[in-house]
Chains A and B, each alone.
Chain A
């Protein structure tokens, strides 16, 4: 263990959108909130997680190579790039979900509050509890809505005064409470796709993680459901650091504070495609004045 202690205090308030409207998102268009937030973004924010020269391998195949990247406190960081560029692979190595694949191996260092999450004495279970994940396809458990949300606190042995309150809070924060409060005991499978995805977000929030990883959370949803999730992300940004992989560049442009652009290089001999980080910067900069030609080609739709 390093001597690092986890502080519960919020980081630099200036980094968060501290406008009076921020509590009432419904009244403020998403665009405004994001624009306001972006005005306050520091150039070099406090990092909650960092990748230092990270390579991810599947067996002998290198899926991602030498990624160095920092994720700011209470910021939304988007990972974009063409298919097969290793964004999802990188995301899964940030909370050790890659451990579940026998052949996967991570080299380099991934830190959380400065502590390496792949260190020998670190419990992957604890890593996954504190760095939550929302998946591409909504994956509610075959249980009631209530039990879906209560599952995390139960299995992690969270000490709670009232599970009902935990469930209500999580569902409220995920903007789902009003829609489901009268049918908490019903199966989560009865919800629409968008509702299921918000339930999965509520489920993740319920274990009080510090970082939420989202792996193309809207790719299975219609535009209305997508826009609700995006609103939600911007709202959650006040309390969580969010890292999102998305195929949808507009989505990154709409919600992300910073954006990392990845691309894939094909090995001439084997044809294997290895992902690498091309450019990482403020979203506004990536989408208006990217410094790398490949980024510009991608965002202007010339390839990918």
Chain B
């Protein structure tokens, strides 16, 4: 008991200076500088773009086609519609395929089989493949089967291939987050594995899948590289009207305008950039809202 008594008499150490010494202050200052630098660069870019393009953020931007001769009233109508059509088509191809593949890999695939392991390794690698490669692949395939490559369908296929690995990985993450107890509870009641996926696992994973898919689509929306090879880079002054129609998309239209020397083209390019940023912001916000509102806490 004596030793216990003497232990209790050792006073607690006084509070040390902690974060107040010069080294710590410099370090924290550096961290702040890093954050400020990043935010400032972005702010300058945004403000500059806005100032450049503000006069052209008008109705013409949405309703008129581009023009080679009168840049003052040129609009991005064809590009907006093209982007919308390509993205919808991309989503229609990539999401069902990606979700199905994710479900298979997570719930049914036997990970001890060599082919499933190869698929797993390659999925992660595929997500890091440069976008232009998907463009070249699609162009090559289109050429070899005699499909014109400068059409909406080919653009959407390239973008779908681009985001497919991301959607598969997102789906797997979301499905893995559903607790094993839920599956077991369902199976123990006599549900089949397929019923369990369909009625328990997948519904619980939908918010995660939706969030990931929207983020992937917003990446596809801003992507220009693969579409350069697939006909996005042409002068389009008509609405895309189907899968086999010629088209252009916003990032490529911006690229096109920004190459021109007249100031008016630069201005409309800036306006289109603002438009695209707003679209991306909306999509990303939507993704965050879905994640926060519907995410289940187990």
**A residues in contact (CB < 8 Å) with B:** 95, 97, 100, 102, 125-126, 128-130, 132-133, 135, 137, 139-142, 151-152, 155-156, 200, 203-204, 207
Contact A141 B185 (CB under 8 A): yes
Given the interface pairs A102-B110, A102-B112, the reply to whether A151 lies near B186 with Cβ below 8 Å is yes
Contact A204 B181 (CB under 8 A): no
Question: For the complex, what is the distance from the CA of A141 to the CA of B204, rounded to whole Å?
Answer: 10
Count chain B residues whose beta carbon lies closer than 8 angstroms to a beta carbon of A. Answer: 21
Contact A139 B181 (CB under 8 A): yes
Distance (Å) between the CB of B113 and the closest chain A CB?
11
Can you offer 26 A-B residue contacts whose CB atoms are under 8 A? A97-B187, A100-B183, A100-B184, A125-B190, A125-B192, A126-B190, A128-B187, A128-B189, A129-B190, A132-B188, A135-B181, A135-B185, A139-B179, A141-B182, A141-B200, A142-B182, A142-B203, A142-B204, A151-B186, A151-B199, A155-B190, A155-B195, A155-B199, A156-B191, A203-B185, A207-B190
Which chain B residues border A141 with CB–CB below 8 Å? 182, 185-186, 200
B117 at the interface (CB under 8 A from A): no
**B residues in contact (CB < 8 Å) with A:** 110, 112, 179, 181-192, 195, 199-200, 203-204, 296
Which chain A residues border B110 with CB–CB below 8 Å? 102
Contact A155 B204 (CB under 8 A): no
Closest B residue, CB atoms, query A151: B189
Contact A152 B184 (CB under 8 A): no
Question: For the complex, what is the distance from the CA of A100 to the CA of B184, rounded to whole Å?
Answer: 9
Distance (Å) between the CB of B288 and the closest chain A CB?
21
- Contact among B182, B184, B189 with A156 in the assembled complex (CB-CB below 8 Å): B189
Closest B residue, CB atoms, query A96: B187
Which chain A residues border B296 with CB–CB below 8 Å? 142
Which chain A residues border B192 with CB–CB below 8 Å? 125, 155
Question: For the complex, what is the distance from the CA of A151 to the CA of B112, rounded to whole Å?
Answer: 32
Distance (Å) between the CB of A58 and the closest chain B CB?
14
Which chain B residues border A140 with CB–CB below 8 Å? 185
Give 20 new A-B contacts, CB below 8 A, not counting A133-B188, A135-B181, A156-B190.
Answer: A102-B112, A125-B190, A125-B191, A125-B192, A126-B190, A128-B188, A128-B190, A129-B189, A139-B181, A139-B184, A140-B185, A141-B185, A142-B182, A142-B203, A151-B189, A152-B189, A155-B190, A155-B191, A155-B195, A203-B185
Question: For the complex, what is the distance from the CA of A135 to the CA of B199, rounded to whole Å?
Answer: 20
Given the interface pairs A141-B200, A156-B190, the reply to whether A135 lies near B184 with Cβ below 8 Å is yes
Which chain A residues border B184 with CB–CB below 8 Å? 97, 100, 133, 135, 139
